[in-house]
Structures are given as C-alpha cells and as structure tokens.
Amino acid sequence: MMILIFLEDMLADLGCDSITAAATVDQALALIDEQSFDAVLLDMNLNGDKTCVVADKLAACGTPFIFCTGNDHKIWKDHRDRAVLKKPFKYEDLEEMLTHLPLSPTKS
C-alpha cells in the first residue's frame, strides 16, 4: 500500500489528473471496461496472477502502457515491444518512460 501511495504521488507530481489502481486482474479488466485511460502502468503480476490478459485487452483498446516489474520476467511474446520499468525505479525513470510513451490514436 505504501508503494502505491508513493507511486500515486509521483504521478501527481508529473501532472496526472486522475489515477486509478487495481489490485487484481479482475479489477483491472473491469476498469478497462468502465473507463478509458490515456496511459497505464501495468505490473506484470497482480496479487499473484500474471497480467497477460490485461495487457492483451489494453492493446486491443489501443491504450498505451508500460510494464512494471520487480522481477526478471520475460515479456510475453505479443508484447515484446512494450517498455519495461524495473522496480525499484526513480522519479526520473518514470518521467522518462511516460514522456516517450506514444499516445493512443484517439488521444493524439
């Protein structure tokens, strides 16, 4: 929980207006159905479950995203072109990744 609060503060400092978090794959999938996102930081593991189905759904929606991981995960075949932010990371690392994240076609 403390890491999430820290990350939310970092994102707010970078100018993010609305920040939404999901603790499970099911929560993440439901949020994608309910909202549109400018960008997503996607942990490769939520509550012990791999997030490949979340990545697939974000890609299908055209939502840009960055994988986050503290482990040495191999990126899933269909998402090898995605940026990976290795935890722990610095504010500058997050800023750099978000700065170079392409916007979805509907957001440009």
State pLDDT tens for residues 25-73. 999 999 999 999 999 999 999 999 999 999 999 999 999 999 998 876 6
| Per-residue pLDDT tens over the stretch 29-42 | 999 999 999 999 99
Kindly report the CATH number that applies to the domain delimited by 2-99.
3.40.50.2300
pLDDT of residue 69: 86
Domain map of the chain by residue range?
Answer: 2-99
The length of the chain in residues reads 108
For residue 22, the model assigns a pLDDT of 95
Which pLDDT value is given to residue 107? 47
* Torsion of Cα atoms, 63 then 61 then 107 then 44, to 10°: -10
Q: What is the pTM of this model?
A: 0.86
> 61 by DSSP, 3-state: which?
helix
Identify residue 90 by its one-letter amino acid code: K
Q: Tell me the torsion sign for CA atoms 10, 71, 68, 2.
A: negative
Average pLDDT of the chain is 88
Kindly give, in sequence order, each residue whose CB lies less than 8 Å from that of residue 86, ignoring residues fewer than 6 positions away.
Answer: 69, 70
